[in-house]
Each structure stands twice: as structure tokens, then as C-alpha cells.
Chains A and B, each alone.
Chain A
């Protein structure tokens, strides 16, 4: 209620160098998520230097998922540009592709883990090695973030269809795209990290 009343005022403000408080909040949240993964990866490093560490070759599927998520970053960027140019049809196509690519990414991650399992590497449960468990937890939590991005896209979609009022505020789509790029970069960091540090 009053939230919207106040917020609707911001949305009209020009974006020339001034940051919308919600966008700012997102950046701080991104910092916070970074700390979470920093904690995971440093715990990984600490643990790696101790005994009985398993050296794991990353599954091929992770390469495909990396490609998928990079493409999705491009599509969401284009979607954002079409939205700004008010090319709504193009925007809708591109954002749908992005969401689908997000889901493809998650599926590929899952396939990656089945691949590992087929090679006899147990992720969780009795007899699992912390190296594999770390991979499972960290990749799993990254996937949750991708799914959160997909959910956000669905959310603005449903909102756009259900409300009679046409809302042309670019803030939500801009925030989603920022988050999406962040999650993409986060994966690239994790991917390189897992390849390098094992």
C-alpha cells in the first residue's frame, strides 16, 4: 500500500546517475551472496589441505551448462534493451528464451552429477568424500540462485498479464538482469575455481 505509493514516485525519477533504492539494495544483497560463496570456497580450500581429498574431474555437462548460462546472459541483456525500446514482442520472446536457458542450465548441472555418479563418485551419504560433497553443496546452492532468477522472471510475467494497468517501469527487469548477470559470473568463477583448485 503505502510502500507502493512511495515507490511509484521513485519510478518516475530519471536514471541519470542516481540509483533507485531497490536497485541499491540488490547490489548489497549481491555482496552478501558473494560472502556466502566466499565462505563455501574458502572452506573448500581449508578442507582440501587436509587428509583424504579426492581429485575429481569435472563432468562434460558442466561445459555445456556454462555455454547455456553465458548465452542466457546475452539474451537477457537483449531483452532488457528491447524493453527499453518498448519492443514488447521481441522482449517477451527473449525473456522467455532466457528463462528456458536458465532451466536448461539447471538440468545440465543435474546431468553432470549423474555423470559423476556413473563414474562411481558418491556426492552425499555414507562413504562420500568431502571433495564431492562440497561440489554438490556449492553447485546446488548456485542452482538455487538460478532458479530464483527464473522465478523472478515468471513473477514479472504473471504480474504483467494479470494487472490491467500497463506498467512500463524498467526497474524490475533491470534488477532481474543485474541479478542474472551476477549469477552467471558467479558460475564462471565457481567453474574456474573447481577446475583450478582440486
Chain B
């Protein structure tokens, strides 16, 4: 869409809004139910996503503490755990093997999909898109509400799978067949897997409803003057995130549908005449488990960028605001987001280098995979140059944003190792991969999310978070993240495979007993620190320092022109018009110039 067209467009939309604007604010007779439960206000929906995401983060984190307990202290007995969790999970004071695999699987699924996809994009796309583009709400607030409730339903089903007799699914978050397709393959492959699939199908529907809405809103509902090239980078990032989701989640759904047929209706899409211990040869003929891997990773790789891009967008915004400098290379930032979004669809087979993939095809995927380093490097360069000689304000949000950049660099570099198919023969399915993706995706996106929460909390609740607690949270988390995941690179290089219950049986991995204990201990400390953050979050909602100015960070973007406690509809009266890009910091000696300030006569061009 040309800017011209976009401009006309939004003129139309916003005027139609505004004729209505004042009346709109009066129509509200909201009950508790419509305000807090079945709300159609994007800001409330954002908070619902955030808090549900936080619940999942705690549960998922707790799971990792439990399985790290097994890995770090394989010989110890924790009888008190047995009293809390019951016999299925803990026997004789030790995590059972079934429970271990169930925990690893659920941890992965929950963190990737429920926390870092729904909790991250769900929260910030909902909260920031209307506020930063100048819209009263999403294109379809009703669909938006549905999106949350589908997520909620998915959450309930996933949670219920923790309580079934045969345990939750335990075949890994990637749900490869035959473990996922065959009920008799393992205890977790029975009811647990049925519930897992239902939960994930609901989750896909939720993501699609959300994504459709985000795209339609960004393209159609911008206020007057808000051309695409005046959008904050957060919005660009959320836009590409939504596009990736809308194009890749249906593919996952197709994969799941075929899986359901294999599980329940005797088809042979993924199952073949393999031999199962205790069952004998399967009657199925001609199925291919690799087919599922293709379908899964066609989503799976874009998915990792669905997780990362919102963090990148928020970090760009926060770095610029707190460096009091324009973001370096605005167009290059958009271009690299675009390049990443395209490439994300072309590299899925790098997860399958050792599945018997044709080596020639493999080398094509090596090339495409390594190409991602180019836009990634551009982004890193631009973040660093934005910081360079900035007048930096070290707020907790800024610390987390800088932490994100550090983690993204560290984890991106190991991606380049893995992207070479020859090296991957050695590294595949070792702790090196675990280290890679936790640093570059898991912790980095978590940092992006924390940065976003610390930065936009005043807008969400009209209160400030406690800074001291914020700094403690930051330093322990970043130190802990490196202490946990850095050593895993060494374990992986030594060939230590992932997804094993007990490594102390191997002569070659005995050397890591102490290291594993160290990692587990740090993991527990970091987990406890997150509780500190939760305390800060909930305490500050009620008792935090009140926000007294509309624009506490002296930021240029539109959300800070709304009242401190914006109602449904965001702006009282007309939606402001936009005259400039969002990054006029320190221009012509002026500290900041909000987007709503008309361009002066003698102002220089950027």
C-alpha cells in the first residue's frame, strides 16, 4: 500500500471515529463481567494475556526447576516432594523417568507457545497496536476477545493434561511421531497426548484470530498522518510477527490434523510398519515420520521468530527512548525485519540435517540459514550505534533491553555453528542446541518481555514499578542466564545428548556431575528471583508510586498522549494527528519532539 493511499485511508477511518468520539465515552455502563472478564477493550485483553502468560511462566519455570533437580542431583532423595506431587511424579524421593519426560515436554510447549507467543505478542500487540497507531481499538474487538478466550481454553486443557492418570504428553515439544501418533508408544502418548493436541489446536485458533486482527488493525486503522514509515518499530515488528503467524500456524494445524487421523482413525500418514516392543509390528503401511518434521518445522522455525520479533521491536523502541537518540537506521531496521520474515520460511530443514536429508538440499539450507546472519547483524549494529554516545538513562527497562542485545549476540553466534550441516552432525541433539536456543530465543525474548513490562507498566496501571527491585531482578537474571546456559555449550561440544534422564551412568559425562549441579543450583536462584519480580508487579498495581505525568519517559509515541488512565476508546475527544516519525530525540538541540507536534518551518530534515 502506498503511503498516499494509507493516508487517505486513515483519514477516513479516524474521522468516522471522531464524529462519534465523545458520545462513545458516555455509552459505557460496564459491569464487572464486561469490564474485567469478557472485555472487548484491547488494553484489558492485553492484561489478561499478560497475567495468564505469567501464570504459565511460573508453572513452566517450576517444571524446569523440578527436572533440573533430577539432572543436578541424580542421587539425592526428596521425600517431601513426594508428599506434594504424589507417586506418579516422585517415587522414593526421586523424579520418575515418566515424570521427567512429561516435565521437559510440557516445559517446552508451555514456554514456547503459551508464554513467549501468547504471553508476549498477545500482551504487547494488543496493548501497543491501537495505542501507538492512534486507534480506539482493534479492527474487531470481538474477535480479539475470542482470541483470548481460545487461549484460555487451550490453557485449561493443557493444565488438565497434568492430572490424567497416564500423565501429560512426554515426547518433546516438537511432538514427533511415532511417540505422538501411537498411543501404545509411551504412557504420555495416551490421554495426555489427546489433550495436548486439543490444547494446541485451540491455541492455533487463538493465534490466528489474534494475528488477523493485528494485521487488519495496523494496515487499516492508523490515525491521520500515521503513514507506514512513521510507525514505531514496535508496530513494524508486531506486524511481521502477525504475518508469520498467520502464514505458518495453518501449516502446523494441517500437520496436527493428519496426526489426529493417524492416532484415532487408523491412517498411515506418519506411521509405518515399525516394530513396537510389546505390540509387535504395526499394521500401518507407507507412512513417513519425516513428513511430520517438515510440517512441524515449517511452522517451527517461523515460530522462533514469532517469539523473537516482538522483543526486537520493543527493544528498538526502548533503546532509542532511553538513549535520547533516534534509532539508528530506521529503514534498515524495517528492511531487516522483512528479510528475517522472508528467510524464516526458507530455512526449516536446518532442524533436519541429520534425518537423511539429501546432502545437496542440505547445503542449500545451509546457505539460506547462514543468510539470516546478515539481517541479524544489521539489527545488532543498529542497536549498538543507537547506544553509541547516547545520553543513556539506565532504567530497568533499558537494562533489560541492553541485556537482550547481549544475549541475542551470544546466542546468534552459536546459530552460525549449528547452521553448518557438517558441524551439526556432531552438535545435533546435544546440549549445545539447548544452550543456543535458550540464550537466543528463550532468555532473550524473556528479556524483551521484561523490558516491555518495565517500560509500559506506567501506561498499563498508572503506577511505577519499584526500580531497586527491578535492578536486582535484572542483574541476577542476566548473570544467572549466562551461568546456566554458557556451560551447556561445553557439555554439548563434549557430545552430551539432550533429553536424557540421567547422565551419571556414562563414564564420559561423569566429568559434568559438578557442572550440572552448579547449573541446577543457579536455575533455582534465578527462578526465585522471578518471584521477586512477580511481587513487584502485583504489589505495585495497588501500592506502587503513582504516575503523575502523562509522559513519564519523555517519549514521542502516541500512547503517552492518552490520559494516565485511558478509558475504552483511549483518547478523550479526537484522536491526535501525527506529523512526524517517532524518533525525533535530540533533534536540533530539542530533547524530544512528540509525533503530534507539527513540523516547524526552520526544522532540519532527518
Binding site for B on A (CB under 8 A): 1-3, 5-6, 9-10, 12-13, 17-19, 21-22, 24-25, 28-29, 31-33, 35-40, 43, 46-47, 50-53, 124-130, 133-134, 137, 141
Contact = CB atoms under 8 A, between A and B. Distances in A.
Main secondary structure of the interface of A (DSSP, over half): helix
B215 to A, nearest CB: 5
B568 A39 contact: no
Contacts, number: 149
B295 A47 contact: no
7 contacts: A19-B220, A21-B217, A24-B220, A28-B216, A36-B251, A52-B286, A126-B266
Given A5-B20, A39-B254, A43-B254, A18 B12 contact: yes
Contacts of B322: none
Main secondary structure of the interface of B (DSSP, over half): helix
B137 A130 contact: no
A28 B284 CA distance: 38
B24 A127 contact: no
Contacts of A9: 16-17, 19-20
Contacts of B294: 43, 46
Contacts of B16: 9-10, 12-13
Contacts of B20: 5-6, 9
A45 B253 CA distance: 18
Contacts of A127: 283, 285
B471 to A, nearest CB: 40
Given A32-B208, A39-B255, A130-B286, A25 B291 contact: no
A4 to B, nearest CB: 9
B288 A32 contact: no
A53 to B, nearest CB: 7
A25 B246 contact: no
Contacts of B269: 43, 47, 130, 133-134
Contacts of B265: 124-125
B221 interface: yes
Contacts of A35: 246-248, 250-251
Given A6-B20, A9-B17, A137-B261, A29 B287 contact: no
Contacts of A31: 246-247
B268 interface: yes
Contact of B295 (A25, A28, A43, A137): A43
A5 B26 CA distance: 12
Interface residues of B, number: 60
B261 A6 contact: no
Contacts of B221: 21
Interface string B238-267: 000000001111110111011001000111
A22 B140 contact: yes
Contact of A47 (B24, B40, B211, B291): B291
Contact of A24 (B8, B139, B247): B139
B251 A124 contact: no
Given A52-B285, A133-B261, A3 B141 contact: yes
A127 B287 CA distance: 12
A53 B142 CA distance: 45
B569 interface: yes
A130 B255 contact: no
Contact of A21 (B5, B27, B216, B288): B216
Most chain B C-beta atoms within 10 Å of own C-beta, residue among A19, A29, A37, A125: A29
Contacts of B141: 2-3, 6
A16 to B, nearest CB: 10
B283 A126 contact: yes
A19 B1 CA distance: 12
A192 B8 CA distance: 41
Nearest to A50: B288
B227 to A, nearest CB: 16
Contacts of A19: 220
Contact of A18 (B9, B142, B255, B295): B9
Contact of A1 (B9, B34, B267, B288): B34
A99 to B, nearest CB: 24
Contacts of A24: 139, 216, 219-220
B40 A1 contact: yes
Contacts of A38: 251
B476 interface: no
Interface string B129-150: 0000000110111110000000
A40 B254 contact: yes
B142 A36 contact: no
